[in-house]
Chain A
Amino acid sequence: MEMPAPNQAILGLKDRLVARLQTVLPADAVIHDQAETRAYECDALTAYKCPPLCAVLPSSTQEVSDVLRICHEMGVPVVPRGAGTSLAGGALPTADSVILGVARMTEVLETNYDDRFVRVQTGRTNLSVTGAVEADGFFYAPDPSSQLACAIAGNIAMNSGGAHCLKYGVTTNNLLGVTMVMMDGTVVELGGAHMDAGGLDLLGLICGSEGQLGVVTEATLRILPKPEGARPVLMGYDSNEVAGQVVSDIIKAGVLPVAIEFMDRPCIRATEAFAKAGYPDCEALLIVEVEGSDAEIDEQLGLITQIARRHNPVELRESTSAEESARIWLGRKSAFGAMGQINDYMCLDGTIPVSQLPFVLRRIGEMSKEYGLDVGNVFHAGDGNMHPLILFDANKPGDLEKCEAFGADILRLCVEVGGCLTGEHGVGIEKRDLMVDQFAPDDLDIQMAVKDVFDPQWLLNPAKVFPLDASAKRRAA
Chain B
Amino acid sequence: MMTPQTEAELAEMVGAAQGPLHVFGGGTRPIGRPVTGEALSLSALSGIVEYEPGALTLVARAGTPVAEIEAALAAEGQRLAFEPMDHRTLLGTEGAPTMGGVVAANVSGPRRVAVGAARDFLLGVRFVDGTGRVLKNGGRVMKNVTGYDLVKLMAGSYGTLGVLSEVSLKVLPQPEAVVTLTLHGVDAAGALEAMTRAITSPYEVSGAAYLPGDTPRVFLRIEGFAGSVAYRAAQLKTLLADLGQITQTDTPEESADQWRALRDVELLAGCANVWRVSMTPSALVDRLLPALGDALGPYQLDWAGGLCWLGADAGAGAADMHTRLQALVADPAINAGGGGHATLIKGDAGLRAQVPVFQPEPAPLAALTRGLREKFDPRGILNPGLMG
B1 within 8 A of A: no
B144 within 8 A of A: yes
**With a CB–CB cut-off of 8 A, which chain A residues contact B135?**
442-443, 446
| A195 and B306 within 8 A (CB) | yes
| A427 and B146 within 8 A (CB) | yes
State the CA gap A399–B380 with chains docked (Å). 52
- Residue from B108, B141, B153, B228 whose CB has the most chain A CB atoms within 10 Å: B141
Of all chain B residues, the one with the shortest Cβ separation from A160 is B145
| A431 and B146 within 8 A (CB) | yes
CB distance from B36 to the nearest CB of A (A): 21
State the CA gap A204–B155 with chains docked (Å). 9
**With a CB–CB cut-off of 8 A, which chain B residues contact A300?**
225, 228
**With a CB–CB cut-off of 8 A, which chain A residues contact B143?**
161, 165, 170, 351, 380, 383-385, 423-424
| B142 and A384 within 8 A (CB) | yes
**With a CB–CB cut-off of 8 A, which chain B residues contact A293?**
202, 228, 231
| A172 and B53 within 8 A (CB) | no
Q: Given A194-B279, A251-B173, A354-B55, is A200 in contact with B144 using a C-beta cutoff of 8 Å? A: no
Q: Given A196-B278, A427-B147, A444-B147, is A204 in contact with B173 using a C-beta cutoff of 8 Å? A: no
State the CA gap A449–B368 with chains docked (Å). 12
A447 within 8 A of B: yes
B101 within 8 A of A: no
State the CA gap A181–B108 with chains docked (Å). 31
Of all chain B residues, the one with the shortest Cβ separation from A161 is B143
**With a CB–CB cut-off of 8 A, which chain B residues contact A110?**
337
CB distance from B144 to the nearest CB of A (A): 5
| A169 and B120 within 8 A (CB) | yes
**With a CB–CB cut-off of 8 A, which chain B residues contact A182?**
364
| B150 and A446 within 8 A (CB) | yes
- Segment with Cβ contacts to A, from B17-25, B109-117, B178-186: B109-117
161-211 of chain A: CB within 8 A of chain B: 161, 165-166, 169-170, 172-173, 177, 182, 186, 188-205, 207-209
**With a CB–CB cut-off of 8 A, which chain B residues contact A280?**
none
State the CA gap A104–B150 with chains docked (Å). 31
B7 within 8 A of A: no
Range for the number of chain B residues in contact with chain A: 35 or more
**With a CB–CB cut-off of 8 A, which chain B residues contact A420?**
139, 141, 144, 146
Of all chain A residues, the one with the shortest Cβ separation from B361 is A199
B176 within 8 A of A: yes
B89 within 8 A of A: no
**With a CB–CB cut-off of 8 A, which chain A residues contact B368?**
188, 202, 453-454
| A195 and B278 within 8 A (CB) | yes
Q: Given A172-B149, A299-B228, A383-B142, is A353 in contact with B375 using a C-beta cutoff of 8 Å? A: no
- Residue from B57, B142, B279, B361 whose CB has the most chain A CB atoms within 10 Å: B142
> How many residues of A are in contact with the other chain, CB < 8 A?
100
118-177 of chain B: CB within 8 A of chain A: 119-120, 129, 133-137, 139-153, 155-157, 161, 172-176
| A447 and B148 within 8 A (CB) | yes
State the CA gap A188–B339 with chains docked (Å). 11
Given B136, B338, B369, which contacts A199 in the complex, CB threshold below 8 Å? B369
State the CA gap A200–B373 with chains docked (Å). 10
| A465 and B54 within 8 A (CB) | no
- Segment with Cβ contacts to A, from B193-201, B256-264, B290-298: B193-201
CB distance from A190 to the nearest CB of B (A): 7
State the CA gap A169–B123 with chains docked (Å). 12
43-97 of chain A: CB within 8 A of chain B: none
State the CA gap A257–B257 with chains docked (Å). 28
Given B146, B227, B338, B369, which contacts A435 in the complex, CB threshold below 8 Å? B146
| A296 and B231 within 8 A (CB) | yes
| B358 and A201 within 8 A (CB) | no
| B152 and A449 within 8 A (CB) | no
Q: Given A198-B359, A225-B200, A420-B139, is A209 in contact with B148 using a C-beta cutoff of 8 Å? A: yes
| B113 and A195 within 8 A (CB) | yes
Q: Given A170-B143, A296-B228, is A202 in contact with B339 using a C-beta cutoff of 8 Å? A: no
203-234 of chain A: CB within 8 A of chain B: 203-205, 207-209, 220, 225-228
**With a CB–CB cut-off of 8 A, which chain B residues contact A255?**
173
| B141 and A200 within 8 A (CB) | no
**With a CB–CB cut-off of 8 A, which chain A residues contact B176?**
254
A422 within 8 A of B: yes
| A426 and B52 within 8 A (CB) | no
- Segment with Cβ contacts to B, from A31-39, A111-119, A367-375: A111-119
**With a CB–CB cut-off of 8 A, which chain B residues contact A443?**
135-137, 147
| B227 and A296 within 8 A (CB) | yes
346-370 of chain B: CB within 8 A of chain A: 358-359, 361-362, 364-365, 368-369
| A194 and B202 within 8 A (CB) | no
B63 within 8 A of A: no
CB distance from B236 to the nearest CB of A (A): 13
Q: Given A172-B149, A188-B365, is A198 in contact with B278 using a C-beta cutoff of 8 Å? A: yes
B340 within 8 A of A: yes
B384 within 8 A of A: no
CB distance from A399 to the nearest CB of B (A): 27
- Residue from A194, A195, A292, A353 whose CB has the most chain B CB atoms within 10 Å: A194
State the CA gap A443–B157 with chains docked (Å). 18
**With a CB–CB cut-off of 8 A, which chain B residues contact A169?**
116, 120
A159 within 8 A of B: yes
**With a CB–CB cut-off of 8 A, which chain B residues contact A198?**
278, 340-343, 358-359, 361
316-334 of chain B: CB within 8 A of chain A: none
| B358 and A199 within 8 A (CB) | yes
State the CA gap A446–B140 with chains docked (Å). 20
Q: Taking beta carbons and an 8 Å cutoff, which residues of A are in contact with B? A: 110, 112-117, 119, 137-138, 158-159, 161, 165-166, 169-170, 172-173, 177, 182, 186, 188-205, 207-209, 220, 225-228, 247-249, 251-256, 292-293, 295-296, 299-300, 303, 351-355, 380, 383-385, 418-427, 431, 435, 438-440, 442-444, 446-447, 449-454, 465
Given A200-B157, A423-B141, 4 additional A-B pairs, CB 8 A: A194-B306, A203-B152, A418-B141, A420-B141
Closest 3 CB pairs of A and B: A192-B339, A204-B152, A198-B341
CB<8 Å pairs between A and B, sample of 15: A158-B145, A188-B362, A193-B280, A193-B339, A196-B108, A201-B106, A227-B202, A295-B231, A353-B140, A354-B54, A383-B141, A384-B142, A421-B146, A446-B137, A451-B148
